[in-house]
Structure 1
């Protein structure tokens, strides 16, 4: 009995997967991590030992290692004062960390705003784009044609005025006299 080529490829792939999986136990559960030491076990020790675990908070007022309150961004003052709390590194307290982060983020936002303004001003002062140049050229042509038509009209109107004696000419015998 012969099988189509695609079915043979699928069967070979399944066989490879079965051979690879055979080296592993039947249950493919993730290995369990070692039990986590509670932060309170580091109380009375050093700040560095406590802060090796990122979920711990060191409080200098009573030299205690506490679980970081994940429900709030900042630890409440009832837990530990911000000036005495340390997280991540022992040499920076929360107040200094907050101030430093505010200054850095403000500087970054200000520099982004300045860069955007500079880019916009440079683009605006770089000159006209091709569409604007074409429109300006077209406006100029229309204005020139309008001016030439206006000049032609003035010439015709002046000829008509001369024909009927409406233009004051000094050589015309029938010019109006002004009363002085």
Structure 2
């Protein structure tokens, strides 16, 4: 079933999984050293992680909830600086431990931190906009991430747009870009 943006979540996730495997299998011959493990881990029926109430209260979070019905985590450690979509249990239960629930400073908004990259950036879903933000160089104060304009970037207009970005980065890397 497609989302309102026309994306078929299952097909997109399957394509990322296929590309991640292809990327990993050809990595050593292209770069001369073995890759770390690249994976798209499917959601397990026995995962009892429950989305926090602040997430359930926002219509913009429905795509993240749907994503975690399909996938537990994505790990692409050798793609660029590495991209990591945290396991459902970390995203839903990780508040405080490096997982801010709001951004302050340049912009104030409730967020759900769901990913990171090897360079230290965090990826968060803006709960009022549905945009995916890339947060860098800020300071975690309690559950808030304080950030200046230079550390706040819209990475994608939606979660599915972010996943399409990851798919496209895998495709470009496989073509040698």
Which category of TM-score, normalised to the shorter sequence, fits these structures?
A: under 0.3
If you compute each CA radius of gyration, which structure gives the higher value, 1 or 2? 1
Which fold has the larger relative contact order, with Cα–Cα distance below 8 Å and residues 6 or more apart in sequence? 2
Query: Larger helix proportion, structure 1 or 2?
Result: 1
TM-score, scaled to structure 1 = 0.20
| Between structures 1 and 2, the one with greater strand share | 2
